[in-house]
Amino acid sequence: MPPTGGWEIVQPDELGPQFRALQGRRAGLQRRLAIMARDPCDSALGAYRLSGPLAPAVCGLRLDREYRLAFTMQSALTDEDRPRVVLLYVGKREPGHRVVRPSDIWDDLHDLFGVGNPPADHHKPPCCDGGRPDLGGADLDAFFRALRRFNRGR
């Protein structure tokens, strides 16, 4: 029997260090994930599309205390599956801190994808305007390989 409504939230193991660092920070992550599980395109969530080269594939979400969450979406793989929200990265928004850790989440994310973080023109349109973000399996695999290497270097 096919699942009824909602989205599966996928929190890959590679994000373990980032989520452990977030514990106790009162960033409001669980509250946002509950909304995402119902509908990641819900305007109450306030998710927005990233600018620049990641715009077709990644959305961002403001959490409390200057934290941000990056994610993408995938269609259901089979009739028995639900569509998925794949969490990509979570971290603190600290622009201008590239020289000394902790760095900015968006700088790290763009580095992990191997693309430049656009210096301007951050329009932040709603995440699902013009379709949902789409990150192919090979690109997602490459991203998580880069994240594993990044976490080992910390």
| Pairing verdict, β 84-92 and 8-10 | parallel
CB-based contacts of 41-45 (< 8 A; 24+ apart in sequence): 41/126, 41/127, 41/128, 41/132, 43/126, 45/127
**Which domains does the chain carry?**
8-152 (3.30.2310.20)
> Torsions phi, psi of 31, nearest 5?
-60, -45
- Which pLDDT score, from 0 to 100, does residue 5 have? 66
pLDDT in tens, 116-144: 888 766 678 899 998 999 888 899 999 99
The pLDDT mean for the chain works out to: 86
pTM of the model: 0.88
What would the mean pLDDT of 57-86 be, rounded to a whole number? Answer: 92
Q: What angle do CA 48, 49, 55 make, to 5 degrees?
A: 170
Alpha carbons within 13 angstroms on the beta-carbon side of residue 43 total 2
- Which pLDDT score, from 0 to 100, does residue 27 have? 84
What would the mean pLDDT of 11-39 be, rounded to a whole number? Answer: 90
Q: In this structure, which amino acid lies at residue 2? A: P
